[in-house]
Structure 1
Amino acid sequence: MLILSSNILYALTSFLPLTAGIGTPELTDTSTSKSNVNSHCPPRTTTTIEEQRAAFANFTNLIYTPGGNVTEAYLTYVAEDYIQHNPNTLSGRQNSIDAVQAVINAGATFEIINTAFEDDWGYAFLRVNFAGAAQPTAVVDILRMNGSCIVEHWDVMQERPANATNPIAMWS
């Protein structure tokens, strides 16, 4: 999920308040009736919205928290044929792993402002500080889940204007 905005690269994905103590829920693979706690993809039916929220929160934590693991997040929670609607990144899980990791390796930092999850849809509102950028960027990542697995992504971005008229604009 690589976005080019004002010549700044950005990677995306994620979403729900990061809650300490949320573990990876055990889900049932409906094709084999075996439980699996290591991978949520391909999608399996979840029994509660809480299981989806927990998977979403764990994914978000792995992506946006310092010391997280982008590859683990995607291999655990994202479908291999992940649909990407960002015009600067191709669909597919590996394309997103590469894009997000490149942005992190370049020194970008993320601050989660707000998240929510309901009815298979989650979003994360982020403040992203790209290495070398004069101003931070507001990002909203929107993800759709199918059961236990993240299958689709959209995003919107806006760089903070250097001379914003509104003193409470964007994050206040």
Structure 2
Amino acid sequence: MSKQKKRSKAFLHYLRGAHQSLFKTPSTMKSFILAAFIGSLIHLVPLLLLSNSIAPALALPALVQSDTATRPACDYNERGPLIHLRREAAVKDFTRLYLIERNPKKAFDKWIPGSSSLTFTVTSRIHSRYTQQNPNVPPENQGRDAAIKYITELQSTPGMTYWNISTFAGNGDQGAFGLFHFRRLVPGTETDFAIMDLLRFTGTCFTDHWDAKNQIFGNETNPLAYF
């Protein structure tokens, strides 16, 4: 007999025994036992379902998210006493997707969902709910779509590597921010940089971006330079 059949048989035996015992019990105790019996069913039935072949059909579609359609993991309106933990998790996951998995589209879809239909204006500073503060980005290249395109092309550079990665999230005078600091190297070239990206939170989503970078020459006066 399979384990699943044994488990189902034991469960039915439990139900039968409990039913018989209930009618042999004085009426003053029946209400209490019935309540306890119903409470036990609440815990046992889900366990039985999860142990049988029906579980994948019922449970997994609600729990597993397809990689082909990444849903936003952030909330522009999120508040609460534990929001700092969510923000720390957000910047770590965004950095992992961006630098380790090298999937900027997925990183943006989760943490900078925005909307591609909005138009940028200098006064409102709105474009896909993501504003670039990088001085080299022209107004027509504002927004998440332009950023995804640029990062995707940059990461196609042969041999580009990232390491010395660290992240941080906290509050400042102008809001809450996430930061990640890392080293980027393209072997055989002079493009070896220490880079810091700063992202402003709205809720648990990112809405503004700044960056700063220093080229690493290898002969810096300070042996502790950058990292």
Report the TM-score, using the length of structure 1 for normalisation: 0.69
Higher helix share goes to which structure? Answer: 2
> 1:97 is matched with which residue?
148
The higher relative CO (CA closer than 8 Å, separation ≥ 6) is in 1
Whichever of the two has the greater Rg, that structure is 2
For 1:111 and 1:168, locate their aligned partners in 2 and report how far apart those are by CA, in whole Å: 16
> 2:17 is matched with which residue?
none
How far did residue 140 of structure 1 move?
0.8
> Structure 1 runs of 4+ off > 6 angstroms?
none
User: What SS does the corresponding residue of 1:165 show, helix, strand or coil?
Assistant: coil
Aligned residues with identical type, % of pairs? 27
> 1:44 is matched with which residue?
77
Work out whether 1:109 is the aligned partner of 2:161. Answer: yes
User: Which whole-Å deviations, capped at 9, do the CAs of 1:70-113 have from their partners, x for residues lacking one?
Assistant: 10111111132300011223320001101111111113222244
User: Which whole-Å deviations, capped at 9, do the CAs of 1:25-63 have from their partners, x for residues lacking one?
Assistant: xxxxxxxxxxxx931466131432111221221111100
Q: 2:189 aligns with which of 126, 133, 142?
A: 133
> 1:10 is matched with which residue?
none
Preserved CA contact (<8 Å) 1:142 1:154: yes
User: What SS does the corresponding residue of 1:126 show, helix, strand or coil?
Assistant: strand
Superposed CA RMSD? 2.2
Work out whether 1:83 is the aligned partner of 2:131. Answer: yes
For 2:108 and 2:191, locate their aligned partners in 1 and report how far apart those are by CA, in whole Å: 29
Query: Counterpart of 1:84 in structure 2: which amino acid?
Result: Q
User: What SS does the corresponding residue of 2:199 show, helix, strand or coil?
Assistant: strand
User: What SS does the corresponding residue of 1:95 show, helix, strand or coil?
Assistant: helix
Q: List alignment gaps of at least 5 residues for structure 1.
A: 1-36
Map residues 5-84 of structure 1 onto 2, 5 A cutoff: 38-40=71-73, 43-47=76-80, 48-65=83-100, 67-78=101-112, 79=114, 80-84=128-132
* Count, aligned residues: 134
User: What SS does the corresponding residue of 2:105 show, helix, strand or coil?
Assistant: helix
How far did residue 132 of structure 1 move?
4.1
> 2:214 is matched with which residue?
158
Higher mean alpha-carbon deviation, 123-132 vs 159-168, is at 159-168
